[in-house]
Each structure stands twice: as C-alpha cells, then as structure tokens.
C-alpha cells in the first residue's frame, strides 16, 4: 500500500501551494487532469483545506492563468529592461532567457494553449499575453533600427518561430541549438555579429559573459 502523506491543516497551505499543484498537473496531464481531490492528496491536505483559500475551483483556475501570464512573461520583460536601450542587447537578452531554461517554461505555454481550445476565459488571457509579447518584440526590433512593417513582421516571425518550436517539442542537442543562434540573429535581426562564434562553447560563453555583466 502506498504511504499516505500526513494531512496538513488547511490554514497552513497558502494559495501559491494550490496554484503550484495545479500548474504541475496542467503541464503534465492537461486541464482534464486537474482534480481537487488529487491535488489535496498530493499536498497532504483535505479538500476542505482548499476552501480556506479559494471560493471555488474556478477561482483557482484563474489563479493558474494569472500565474502563467506572470511567470512565463516576466523573465523576458525583466531581461529586456536590464539590457537598457540598445536594441541588440535587448535581442540578446531575449534569446538568453530562452537559452537559460530556468525561468521560462515552454511546456507551460503549450498547456495553456491546449486549455484555450476548451476555455473562453483561458483563450482571452492567452490572446492578451501573446499580444503583449509580440509588441514587446516589436519594440526590440524598433530599437534595433527597423521601422514600420519591417519591425512588426520580424516580431511576428520571431514569436511564431518560438511558439512553433515549443509546440512541436523539437528535440535537438544543446550544442546544435547554440550553433543555430548566430544564423537566427542574421535572419531575424540582420546582424552578423555572432557569426564569428564558430563553436557551441563560444556561443554559450558569449551569452554567459553578457549575463554576468548584468
């Protein structure tokens, strides 16, 4: 028989604990997998403990939507802000977040997009956040010196490439991914600065040096 987790008092579990449990389930099993009873079991709590924090399940689900909106967008916003006004530094900061894989969670984006097919509210939040992210990239390309439609289309292509890459769950060695970065920069940003980096180690070191400075 599986060992049961000790029950915690309801007041000892905050909203973040329940949202984290729901996030984990959403990523692993999709929205259909979210069960109040199962989450309570995983947290070692009673279902009654849930109602110390939330009026109903929908309130929890809205918490998950907002958690995703902040958790998977803020790292890019913060990195771009730290990079300053230089468009090239902003672009590298954006790519750096994708490379670090310790803040942005691609699987979370995928789970939200899947959920949006069956939830009007989730689709609304997704649309709002994706518009924000695309505009964020638009501003980066404007800072790089592109204007008008050239800046907008580059923002679209960059974002759609990123989301398509994640949705397809592309599996490639990290070295291969690193070696592609200079060519993405050439295609998307019209910059050849990184083409002199001939090895994956050199590309990785370049970004590490950038981050260490910030």
Is residue 88 located within the same domain as residue 191?
Answer: yes
Q: Model confidence over 5-35: pLDDT tens digits?
A: 444 444 468 999 999 999 999 999 999 999 9
Helix (H) or strand (E) holding 3: none
Do residues 191 and 145 share a domain? yes
Same-domain pairing of 47 and 153: no
Q: Check which CATH number belongs to the domain holding 42 and give it.
A: 1.10.10.60
Q: Are residues 99 and 187 in the same domain?
A: yes
91 and 187 in a single domain? The answer is yes
Indicate if 26 and 132 belong to the same structural domain: no
Same domain, 127 and 168: yes
Backbone angles phi, psi at 73, to 5 degrees: -120, -40
| DSSP state, residue 31 | G
Which of 2-11, 187-196, 200-209 comes out lowest in average pLDDT? 2-11
Mean of pLDDT values over 118-137: 98
The mean per-residue pLDDT over the stretch 92-108 comes to 91
- Cα-flanking dihedrals φ and ψ of residue 8, to 5°? -105, 155
| Structural domain total, the chain | 2
Residue range(s) defining the domain that contains residue 185: 72-213
Phi, psi torsion values for 84, nearest 5 degrees: 90, -155
Instruction: For residue 3, tell me if it sits in a domain.
Output: no
Q: Degrees (nearest 5) of the Cα angle 175, 24, 30?
A: 95
């Amino acid at each position: 028989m599986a060992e049961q987790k000790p029950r915690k008092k309801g007041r000892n579990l905050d909203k973040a604990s329940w949202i984290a449990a729901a996030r984990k389930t959403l990523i692993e099993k999709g929205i259909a997998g979210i069960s109040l009873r199962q989450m309570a079991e995983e947290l070692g709590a009673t279902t009654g403990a849930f109602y110390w924090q939330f009026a109903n399940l929908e309130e929890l689900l809205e918490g998950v939507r907002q958690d995703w909106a902040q958790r998977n967008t803020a790292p890019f916003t913060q990195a771009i802000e730290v990079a300053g006004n230089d468009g090239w530094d902003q672009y590298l900061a954006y790519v750096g977040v994708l490379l670090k894989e310790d803040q942005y969670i691609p699987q979370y984006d995928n789970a939200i997009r899947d959920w949006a097919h069956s939830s009007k509210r989730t689709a609304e939040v997704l649309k709002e956040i994706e518009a924000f992210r695309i505009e964020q990239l638009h501003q980066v390309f404007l800072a790089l010196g592109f204007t008008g439609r050239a800046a907008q289309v580059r923002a679209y292509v960059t974002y759609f490439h990123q989301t398509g890459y994640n949705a397809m769950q592309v599996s490639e060695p990290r070295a291969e991914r690193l070696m592609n970065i200079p060519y993405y920069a050439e295609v998307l940003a019209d910059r050849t600065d990184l083409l002199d980096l001939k090895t994956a180690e050199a590309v990785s070191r370049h970004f590490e040096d950038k981050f260490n400075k910030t």
